[in-house]
């Protein structure tokens, strides 16, 4: 039985050492030494996103490297994986990325949860012509005004997750909405993405309240949500705020009279809440371990070495991004970030964790999004049996239409 609360301490120390991938009899690359593609996972390893991301990202990346080496045993290069904690600080993240690119020969940066750090990192990536495979950060600006020829935005974004949840619930009868929104760009974007979908589906937003980040007590806000009488309460927040607000919503007995939309919740959030509190919560994720045979078999391999939790969407994202990157690098035969990214955009994605998809000109990865409802304790048959699938939204319909982003790369 996996104890999700155990953290293998040796993994922290292992991070100090790079992890060379196994390559069998690599063919020499014309003359000279065998080139090494270095992948750097830059993320939050110590703070609030360390369980939805954290060391699981390293695991996902390593799996991808191993799978790539299996499918391309004659690949004329090796792959190294390193990681570092940006401690949620933009200048620490920028400093690490800068050093990685300028001194340590890192070719691609992966994940970078935290939009401020992501924005700083993609600047460095552009400057050094490397690749940024953004997974943890969800800002739509990454494929909008801040899009770049060196950036791919994987996994999710605030538009898509809001769109999926908003349209699904509204179509199912939740017509009036009240939002509890974290008062920062991410929360507001999440609210906007969901509200747009609600209105497109014929619903109406009848109220919203903005709460400061890291709020301990949501009572006042929940009270306002209750009094609004809305059919649905949308939680446009993440991490600790999401967990606390849903927990307290349960305490105040908002459900089942009002339907709770967790929007950006993921499986570790739900696990932290516990099924008796989270039952009935609606959310959307592009990945769930129990979705199909492919995800299940991948998960089995993942949890063989990763013991903290079952894989989250970010872990899957690190896997998928790494795999696609290496495949593109193999074809493009270059270290130049922009050319690898072009190649990535030219190839459809096929990783077995997300649905098969493609990458748009603006750097946005398109794959299907699934809307889930959290099971009740009675329905759950295993420790991580948390979701019931409600419906699936096909990729292109889920993400923001490319024209609305005003990305300079899109002609």
Partner 1 sequence: MIYGQLLIGLINGSFYALLSLGLSIILGLLNIINFTHGALYMMGAFAAWLLLAHAGIGYWPALVLAPLIVGLFGMVLERLLLSRVYRLEHLYGLLLTLGLATVIEGLFLNEFSAIGRPYPIPRALTGVWQLGFMTLPIYRAWVIAASVTVCAATWLVIERTKLGAYLRAGTENPALVGVFGINVPRMVTITFGFGAALAGLAGVLAAPIYQVTPLMGGNIITVVFAVVVIGGMGSIAGSILTGFIVGLIEGLTKSFYPEASSLAVFILMAVVLLIRPTGLFGRATTLTSNAGASSHAPPVLSGPAKAYLMPALVMTTFLLVAPAMLYPAFLMKALCFSLFALSLNLLLGFVGLGSFGHAMFLGTAGYITGYTAKAWGWPPEAAIAAGIGMSMLLGAVVGFLSIRRQKIYFAMITLALGELVYFFFLQIPFSGGEDGLSPVPRGRLLGVLNLENDITLYYLILALFLAGFFLVFRAVHSPFGQALKAIRENEPRAISLGYDTDRIKLVAFILSAGVAGLAGALKVFVFHIVSLPDVFHSTSGDVILMVLAGGVGTIFGPVVGAFLIVGMQQYLAPLGTWVMVVEGAVFALCVLSFRQGLVGQMAKILGRPL
Contact positions with partner 1 (CB under 8 A) in 382-401 = none
Rounded to the nearest 5°, which phi and psi values hold at 51?
Answer: -95, -35
Which residues are within 8 A (CB) of 208 and not within 5 positions of it... i.e. 6 or more apart?
178, 179, 180, 181, 191
Binding partner 1 by CB under 8 A: which of 2, 8, 214, 305? 214
Judged by CB under 8 A, the stretch of 158-166, 230-238, 246-254, 350-358 that binds partner 1 is 246-254
Check: CB of residue 137 under 8 Å from CB of residue 120.
Answer: no
Between 92 and 332, whose beta carbon lies closer to partner 1? 92
φ, ψ dihedrals at 328, nearest 5°: -70, -40
Subset of 55-84 contacting partner 1 (CB under 8 A)? 83-84
What would the two tokens of residue 330 be?
């193999």
Our finding on whether 87 is near partner 1 (CB under 8 A) is yes
Beta-carbon count within 10 A of 83 CB: 24
By CB under 8 A, residue 237 contacts partner 1: no
* Least distance between partner 1 and beta carbon 357 (Å): 27
Asked if 313 interacts with partner 1 (CB under 8 A), we say no
Burial class for 95, CB neighbours closer than 10 Å (0-12, 13-18, 19+): middle
Q: How far is the CB of 17 from partner 1 (least distance, A)?
A: 9
Nearer to partner 1, 115 or 349 (CB): 115
Given the rule CB under 8 A, which of 26-34, 96-104, 281-289, 340-348 is the region that contacts partner 1?
96-104
Number of residues that bind partner 1 (CB under 8 A): 74
Site for partner 1 in 167-206 (CB under 8 A): 183-186
Contact flag: residue 45 with partner 1 (CB under 8 A): yes
> What are 147's two structure tokens?
């899009």
Name the residue nearer to partner 1 (CB basis): 201 or 206.
Answer: 206
**102 counts as binding partner 1 under rule CB under 8 A:** yes
Angle at 268 between CA 121 and CA 317, to 5 degrees: 40
- Residue matched to tokens 């459900």: 255
Place of tokens 């292992």: 14
């Amino acid at each position: 039985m996996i104890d999700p609360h155990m953290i293998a301490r040796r993994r922290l120390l292992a991070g100090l050492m790079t992890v060379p991938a196994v390559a069998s009899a690599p063919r020499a690359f014309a003359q000279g030494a065998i080139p090494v593609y270095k992948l750097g996972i830059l993320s939050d390893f110590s703070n609030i996103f360390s369980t939805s991301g954290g060391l699981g990202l390293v695991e996902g990346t390593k799996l991808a490297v191993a799978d790539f080496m299996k499918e391309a045993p004659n690949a004329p290069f090796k792959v190294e994986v390193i990681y570092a904690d940006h401690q949620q600080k933009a200048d620490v993240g920028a400093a690490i990325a800068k050093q990685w690119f300028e001194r340590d020969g890192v070719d691609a940066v992966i994940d970078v949860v935290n939009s401020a750090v992501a924005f700083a990192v993609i600047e460095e990536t552009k400057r050094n012509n490397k690749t940024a495979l953004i997974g943890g950060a969800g800002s739509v600006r990454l494929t909008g005004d801040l899009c770049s020829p060196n950036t791919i935005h994987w996994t999710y974004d605030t538009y898509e997750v809001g769109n999926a949840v908003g349209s699904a619930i509204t179509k199912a009868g939740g017509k009036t909405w009240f939002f509890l929104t974290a008062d920062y760009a991410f929360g507001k974007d999440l609210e906007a993405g969901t509200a747009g979908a609600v209105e497109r589906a014929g619903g109406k937003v009848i109220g919203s309240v903005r709460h400061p980040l890291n709020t301990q007590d949501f009572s006042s806000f929940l009270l306002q949500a209750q009094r609004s009488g809305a059919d649905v309460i949308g939680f446009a927040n993440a991490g600790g705020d999401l967990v606390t607000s849903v927990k307290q919503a349960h305490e105040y007995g908002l459900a089942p009279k009002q339907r709770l939309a967790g929007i950006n919740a993921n499986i570790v959030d739900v696990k932290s809440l516990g099924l008796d509190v989270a039952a009935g919560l609606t959310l959307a994720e592009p990945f769930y371990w129990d979705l199909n045979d492919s995800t299940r078999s991948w998960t089995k391999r993942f949890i063989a070495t990763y013991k903290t939790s079952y894989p989250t969407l970010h872990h899957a994202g690190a896997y998928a991004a790494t795999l696609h990157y290496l495949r593109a690098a193999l074809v493009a035969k270059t270290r130049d970030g922009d050319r690898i990214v072009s190649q990535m955009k030219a190839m459809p994605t096929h990783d077995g964790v997300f649905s098969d998809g493609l990458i748009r000109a603006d750097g946005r990865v398109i794959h299907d999004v699934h809307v889930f409802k959290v099971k009740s304790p009675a329905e759950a048959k295993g420790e991580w049996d948390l979701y019931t699938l409600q419906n699936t939204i096909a990729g292109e319909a889920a993400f923001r239409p490319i024209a609305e982003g005003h990305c300079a790369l899109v002609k």
